[in-house]
Amino acid sequence: MTKAERADYVLNKLEELYPETPIPLDHTDPYTLLIAVLLSAQCTDERVNQVTPALFKKANTPKKMVKLSVEDIQEIIRPCGLSPQKSKAIHRLSEMLLEDHAGEVPQSFEELEALPGVGHKTASVVMAQAFGVPAFPVDTHIHRLAQRWKLTTGKNVTQTEKDLKRAFPKESWNKLHLQIIFYGREHCSARGCDGTVCGICTTLYPDRKRAVKTKK
């Protein structure tokens, strides 16, 4: 198969498997989504969803969040890991939303990435899932699968994002990035498949004998 044929197969197969793509992080608006995505760094979505109800019960808006101390926030989010850095980022970005954006989450990559604790991937998730702007957030699942399916030559998520944006139609990006994540968790995990086990890997590369090592 050519790269274009592989991309087409993946697109159709994932649409067949995951016609619905619920957002994995529980939230009610762009602000709570932004906080949840920030908390998900090096933490599972399941753990984030266990922690955020207590946080959002106390503070589900920037105005309420800044009334909490950094220590208050840290105590609640401790199970997510990296709580010292994340609590400071949540408090400061909430202040900045009030100071610079009238308490609203900005709708541009540049303004989002200027907030503490918000990198390109977090901004991409918010732009895609809160505002419907085409984006292709690349996490470890997507990076690993894109390499197994030879849809990227990238050794990092930045290059993988560029390659996937070239490989797939823009209108598919927001749904597809979730579909790939779902597939990676269910069928093509780091330990469950090495590029020679799951259905998509074996269909794309039926003669592959060696495991595919993910380039970081």
pLDDT of res. 189: 92
- Per the annotation, the verdict on 139 as an active-site residue is yes
Clarify whether 57 is annotated catalytic.
no
Identify the structural domains of the chain with CATH numbers, from first to last.
3-20+136-204 (1.10.1670.10), 30-129 (1.10.340.30)
Helix (H, G, I), strand (E, B) or coil at 1: coil
Tens digits of per-residue pLDDT, 156-196? Answer: 999 999 999 999 999 999 999 999 999 999 999 989 999 99
Neighbours of 50 (CB within 10 A): 13
Q: Which amino acid is at 105?
A: V
For residues 107 and 145, is the Cβ–Cβ distance under 8 A? no
User: How far apart are the C-alpha atoms of 110 and 36, rounded to whole Å?
Assistant: 20
Q: Which of 86, 121, 163, 194 is catalytic?
A: 121
pLDDT interval class at 134 (50, 70, 90):
very high
For residue 200, give the nearest of 128, 146, 135 by alpha carbon: 146
Helix (H), strand (E) at residue 38: helix 30-39
The active-site residue out of 13, 88, 139, 162 is 139
The token pair at 49 is: 């969803």
Reported pTM: 0.91
